[in-house]
Structure 1
Amino acid sequence: MTARIANVTFHAEDPAALARFWCAAMGYPEWTSWEPDEVAALKEAGMDDDQLAERAEAWDQNPAHQRFYFTRYHHERRQRNRMHIDITPFEDRRASREELEAERDRLVALGASVEKTLDGSWGPFEEFAIMMRDPEGNEFCLQ
């Protein structure tokens, strides 16, 4: 047995809004709510609409694709993220600078912001990445 990543979890002020951003960023169906049978089970367990709104997800139900999970966080962030995710617009090849810049513009239109661009090398290898933040300030890189 080996471990695998079950979710990438974000603490969020507005879980549904952040889920909608990441759904659009990743090409997943837009988040609207939990499935009706899940809502029924949760309500039967005593949860109300406010409690249901404290969590959301971005996923296309494909087990080969990463699931993003959002949970309301009621505390102030005190430091920068200690880890971040890297995303790319293609599954099967490395994106060109022009393609990354086009993807950057698409993500900015969805509500992301650009932190800075890394343009250099690591030994003999080109290193080009765009450091970004989602609408709640979570760091990620586009490469």
Structure 2
Amino acid sequence: MTATRSRHRGTTRDPECEVVPPVREFPSCRAGWRRRSLVEFPSTTCWPGRHNAPMSSRLATIVISAVNPEAVADFWCAVLGWSIIEREHYGLTIGGAEASWPTIGIYAVPEAKAVKNRLHLDLRADGLSTSDELDRLLALGARRVDVGQPSDVDWVVLADPEGNEFCLLSEPVVEVSSA
């Protein structure tokens, strides 16, 4: 039995494994086009050395550290149309009404943010134009920030009330969905 080259991550996979789901090109905030799966990888997707082994992890929570978790939670709830779903002495968890994953956990830390995020969220306008969504985000307390992005990019880098960066991508959901 010989292994074949996979279209995903340059890995090899056993030809007896389940077929890799179709992919489609979607724009990314950072660099050109990246491949994104149109369907969730089934739990039996094969990866090297794991013939038909089930996936072991799913993204559950994105965590944001904050000096004032309530203010950051209020901001992200307003941005995403979510609500606070859990309160603990160390922070809060927010999520959508459908109780799906991932959620966002906002946890108290004593120090303010000091350097650029190593991970950030990319948002798309949904139900309104990107320009209107930018105005809405700014009215909610977001601010434009420069993290070294070129001046001719087609996304906007913003920060939440505590300085955590995120991007508003140029194409709204409806344009990407219909492409």
Shorter-chain TM-score category? 0.5 to 0.7
Q: Secondary structure at the match of 1:75?
A: coil
Structure 2 Cα separation of the partners of residues 138 and 73 of structure 1 = 14
Instruction: Check conservation: 1:81, 1:139, Cα contact below 8 A.
Output: yes
Compare the two structures and name the one with the higher helix fraction: 1
TM-score, normalised with respect to structure 1:
0.67
Structure 2 Cα separation of the partners of residues 71 and 80 of structure 1 = 18
Higher Rg of the two aligned structures: 2
Q: Secondary structure at the match of 1:74?
A: coil
1:46-125 to structure 2, matched below 5 A, reads 52=89, 54-90=90-126, 99-115=129-145, 120=152
Q: Which has the higher relative contact order, 1 or 2, with Cα contacts under 8 A spaced 6 or more apart?
A: 1
Distance 1:75 1:110, change over 3 A: same
Instruction: Check conservation: 2:113, 2:163, Cα contact below 8 A.
Output: no
Structure 1 Cα separation of the partners of residues 150 and 157 of structure 2 = 7
Distance 1:66 1:118, change over 3 A: farther
The residue that corresponds to 2:75 in the other structure is 21
- Taking every aligned residue pair, what percent have the same amino acid on both sides? 28
Q: Secondary structure at the match of 1:10?
A: strand
- Per-residue deviation, 1:32: 8.5
TM-score, normalised with respect to structure 2:
0.55
Letter in 1 for 2:95: W
Instruction: Check conservation: 2:66, 2:107, Cα contact below 8 A.
Output: yes
- Gaps of at least 5 residues in structure 1 are 35-50, 121-126
The residue that corresponds to 1:139 in the other structure is 165
